[in-house]
Amino acid sequence: MNPVFNMDAATLSPVALFIQADLVVKVVMAGLLLASVASWAIIVGTTMRLRRVRKGMARFEHDFWKADDIDAFHKKEADNELPSARVLAAGIGEWRRSTAGNAIDKAGTRERLATAMGAAAAGEVDRLSDRLNVLATIGSVSPFVGLFGTVWGIMRSFTGIASAQNSSLAVVAPGIAEALFATAIGLFAAIPAVIAYNRFSHSVNKVEAGLGRFADGFHATLSRQLDAAR
């Protein structure tokens, strides 16, 4: 009998299945476990980051709309790295450049303000969603990698059956268990990644919508100042 498959039920634990697995299946399992660790690191980090950004933006925008002096508020928040603060900085920077001369092109100023703040908001959204593509890749690829390990393991099981010339459950079960364990690890890596990706995408979309509303409101404020200017 092939010694690879000569295992009792007590040895059919995850650790034993990994140790007894073929080298190819071991590589698949190890890669999927590393992908799962990376996925959870991104999930924890992104969760904390988005929570901090959402709370910070709510506070920043609340304080901004209550401020009487925009320039003074901007100076006070000059070192703030929140997305709203960077959109504000882009708008104020463009406002100062566009109104520095004697003659002010009101239509051109409005267009440049919208472009500058829109570009700043897009950049902040890209920065927030930078690592989501890793979750998407893990979520979409891991099941197929696990399936590859399963197919390879089942092929190895059939080879063991042929070598042992015995198709009893005691001979077949360990190899099949190794193969299915690879699929299980693939799903273990993929499912949290897919759920987190969808959740984070929704959160980033909400941040993007909030930035758009803030930029539109600030644009309207500056537009009223343009209308008041001679």
Q: Write out the H or E segment, with its range, that includes residue 49.
A: helix 23-66
Whole-model pTM: value is 0.81
Q: For residue 120, tell me if it sits in a domain.
A: no
Tell me the C-alpha distance between 21 and 27, whole Å.
Answer: 10
pLDDT beyond 50 at 3: no
Contact between 31 and 149 under an 8 Å Cβ cutoff? The reply is: no
pLDDT band at 10 (very low <50, low <70, confident <90, very high): very low
Taking the chain, what is the end-to-end CA distance rounded to the nearest angstrom? Answer: 96
Q: For residue 73, tell me if it sits in a domain.
A: yes
Concatenate the DSSP letters of all residues of 111-179 into one string: HHHHHHHHHHHHHHHHHHTTTHHHHHHHHHHHHHHHHHHHHHHHHHHHHHHHHHT---HHHHHHHHHHH
List, for residues 180-192, the tens digit of each pLDDT value: 888 999 999 999 9
Q: For residue 80, tell me if it sits in a domain.
A: yes
Q: For residue 115, tell me if it sits in a domain.
A: no
Q: For residue 14, tell me if it sits in a domain.
A: no
Q: For residue 83, tell me if it sits in a domain.
A: yes
Q: Considering the chain, what is the average pLDDT of its residues?
A: 86
Q: What is the mean pLDDT of residues 146-164?
A: 78
List, for residues 94-149, the tens digit of each pLDDT value: 999 988 877 778 889 999 999 999 999 999 999 999 889 999 999 999 999 999 98
Q: Which residue, among 19, 8, 2, has the nearest Cα to 178 in the 3D structure?
A: 19
Q: For residue 44, tell me if it sits in a domain.
A: yes
pLDDT beyond 50 at 77: yes
Domain that holds residue 66: 20-94+131-228
Tell me the C-alpha distance between 143 and 118, whole Å.
Answer: 38
Q: For residue 126, tell me if it sits in a domain.
A: no
Contact between 32 and 141 under an 8 Å Cβ cutoff? The reply is: no
Q: Which residue has the higher pLDDT, 102 or 80?
A: 80
pLDDT beyond 60 at 4: no
**In sequence order, which ranges of 67-105 are alpha helices (DSSP H)?**
70-76, 83-98
pLDDT of 171 reads 61
As for how many domains the chain has, the answer is 1
List, for residues 46-76, the tens digit of each pLDDT value: 999 999 999 999 999 999 999 988 889 999 9
